[in-house]
Structure 1
Amino acid sequence: MKTFEAIGAIETFGLVFVLEACDAMCKAADVELVGYENVASGYISVIVQGDVAACQSAVDAGIKAVENLGAEVYSSVVIAGPHIDLNKIISRYQLNNLLTEEEGDAV
């Protein structure tokens, strides 16, 4: 897995709001959407990676987009210079891994 300068994440409630956040994040800055996790009972987290400034801009834009819809962002974070071992966690949420798991479920 490629190492990035930073990761950013937002957690909110509901797919519609997380889609709006993702769209705003990816449009606002040069970040790569890593993936998402449906945490529990509708809480969804989304993760992006890129350089520190891009991740901060993306997270700020995502928060604003969710708030503009009248929803609440429960938590957000930008981690500059993440430790290499965080890749062990982040790789679980990569979209290509999620697709592989779903395909395995269908068999």
Structure 2
Amino acid sequence: MSNKGQGQALGMIETFGLVFMLQAADAMVKAAEVEVVGYENTASGYISILTRGDVAACKSAVEAGIKAVEEMGAEVYSSCVIATPHPGLEKIIERYTLDKLLPY
């Protein structure tokens, strides 16, 4: 398992649909110094975006992502910033990283 990202805060948003998630992700990376770690798309259409950065950046990014989704007339179902994720969460986070999802 990689140590990449350990010690960084985790910022997450869950909404319904790819378009709204992409709008949130775009707003998040433009608003603060965060990196998109990955995403999860469930069968029911809910989709979550995971970002990493320092605590203040993740908080700003999540706020910007929520605002962007709401401005499109959609709803954010869940959002969270974990300031210091437990190292045990890395196993879960790594499962959804873009490096694991992309074939190249």
TM-score by length of 1: 0.90
Aligned to 2:34, which of 31, 35, 39?
Answer: 31
Which position in structure 1 is the counterpart of 2:94? 91
> Where does the alignment leave 5 or more consecutive residues of structure 2 unmatched?
none
Same amino acid, percent of matched pairs = 68
The Cα offsets for residues 18-68 of structure 1, whole Å up to 9 and x where unpaired, read as 000000000000001001010232110000001000000000000000000
Larger radius of gyration: 1
Pairing 1:43–2:46 present: yes
Q: CA RMSD in A?
A: 1.1
Higher fraction of helix: 1
Which position in structure 1 is the counterpart of 2:79? 76
Count the aligned residue pairs.
101
Structure 1 segments, 4+ long, off by >3 Å, are: none
In structure 2, C-alpha distance between the alignment counterparts of 1:4 and 1:60, rounded to whole Å: 21
TM-score by length of 2: 0.93
In structure 1, C-alpha distance between the alignment counterparts of 2:56 and 2:82, rounded to whole Å: 11
Aligned to 2:21, which of 18, 23, 29?
Answer: 18
